[in-house]
A and B are shown apart, each in its own frame.
Chain A
């Protein structure tokens, strides 16, 4: 593998990794928000459930 191909490969990996970091980071944040919301609803005496 020449130098150019190695650099191309590294940049490609970086782009794919960044994409998945953003997407999975958002899904994780959403899951935490959902869990906190469920917990608050369960604690609230006004919630009829």
Chain B
């Protein structure tokens, strides 16, 4: 039953991805100012939103790990698995943001990169979470999860700064399309394709987040069995 539900969810997600692609390429009209290149927004913005969401998952997991690590080890391990899964899948989406943004920038601005507040804070966010993953990969010992949780919390502090950067400072990056100043927004004919892609990327992200969480839990169980066997030997 569980396998059927997961299979069904995966099938719906793939259908949504195909539908989102169709909406982005064939339904959304070409932008009068930017031409075809504007369609990158249908992958770039949802990827950023999902990355932020998963860094928030990592934040909650990290806080929960620190809260439970002394008295509820089972819960702490679950929280740690969510923290790792959130950070890792968040980095994947953030990588997409950092690659698609410059591709758009090269056509729109004539440059691949500029050190403005939005781009720089996003790069810093990505670097913090890459260092989180490197810490988890290469550090050993019982304190590793604690250090990682602290770094995960520290990294999440950058998320609101990235989000607010083009509101607080004048940036080369475009002003916010949604929730920005008066006159911001999107043409209604582009809103539906945008929302379909938001939904599709969200579902895709949740799918791979769930798989990553499951793989990490299996790893934890296996490590616990190994540790018990070593103690018994």
- A 35-49 to B, binary, CB cutoff 8 A, 1 in contact else 0: 001101100101110
The stretch from B56-64, B96-104, B119-127, B180-188 touching chain A is B96-104
B91 CB → nearest A CB, Å:
9
Nearest-CB residue, chain B, relative to A25: B92
Please measure, in the bound complex, the distance between the C-alpha atom of A31 and the C-alpha atom of B100, giving whole angstroms: 25
Taking a contact as CB atoms under 8 Å apart, the answer to whether B222 and A40 are in contact is yes
Q: Which residues of A contact B215 (CB under 8 A)?
A: 30, 33-34, 37
A residues 6-49 in Cβ contact with B at 8 Å? 7-9, 11-12, 14-16, 18-19, 22-23, 26-27, 30, 33-34, 37-38, 40-41, 44, 46-48
Most buried by B among A11, A26, A34, A47: A11
Q: Is the interface of B mostly helix, strand, loop or mixed?
A: helix
Complex Cα gap A34–B36 (Å): 39
CA distance A35 to B219 in the complex (A): 12
Q: Per a CB cutoff under 8 Å, which of A11, A18, A30, A33 touches B106?
A: A11
Q: Using an 8 Å CB-CB cutoff, how does the interface string of B100-124 with A read, 1 for contact, 0 for none? A: 1001101100000000000000000
Contact B96 A19 (CB under 8 A): yes
Q: Is the CB of B107 within 8 A of A8?
A: yes
Of the listed stretches B67-75, B154-162, B168-176, B204-212, name the one at the interface; the rest are far from the partner chain: B204-212
Number of residues on chain A facing chain B (CB within 8 A): 27
Residues of B within 8 A of A4 (CB): 35
A26 to B47, CA, bound (A): 14
B95 within 8 A of partner (CB): yes
Contact at B204–A30, with CB atoms within 8 Å?
no
Taking a contact as CB atoms under 8 Å apart, the answer to whether B104 and A15 are in contact is yes
Q: Do A8 and B95 touch across chains, with their CB atoms under 8 A apart?
A: no
A residues within 8 A CB of B191?
Answer: none
Q: Report the minimal beta-carbon distance from A5 to chain B, rounded to whole angstroms.
A: 6
Residue of A nearest to B99 (CB): A18
- CB-based contact A37/B92 at 8 Å: no
Contact in complex: A44, B222 (CB < 8 Å) = yes
Bound: A9/B103 CA distance, A: 12
Q: With A12-B39, A46-B226, A47-B222 given, is the CB distance from A19 to B208 under 8 Å? A: no
List residues of A whose CB falls within 8 A of some B CB. 4-5, 7-9, 11-12, 14-16, 18-19, 22-23, 26-27, 30, 33-34, 37-38, 40-41, 44, 46-48
9 tightest A-B CB contacts, nearest first:
A46-B229, A8-B36, A15-B103, A15-B100, A8-B37, A15-B40, A8-B35, A26-B92, A18-B99
The contact sample of 27 A-B pairs, CB cut-off 8 A, is A7-B107, A8-B36, A9-B36, A11-B106, A12-B40, A16-B43, A18-B96, A18-B103, A19-B43, A19-B47, A19-B96, A22-B96, A23-B92, A26-B89, A26-B92, A27-B211, A30-B212, A30-B215, A37-B218, A37-B222, A38-B218, A44-B222, A44-B226, A46-B225, A46-B226, A46-B229, A48-B225
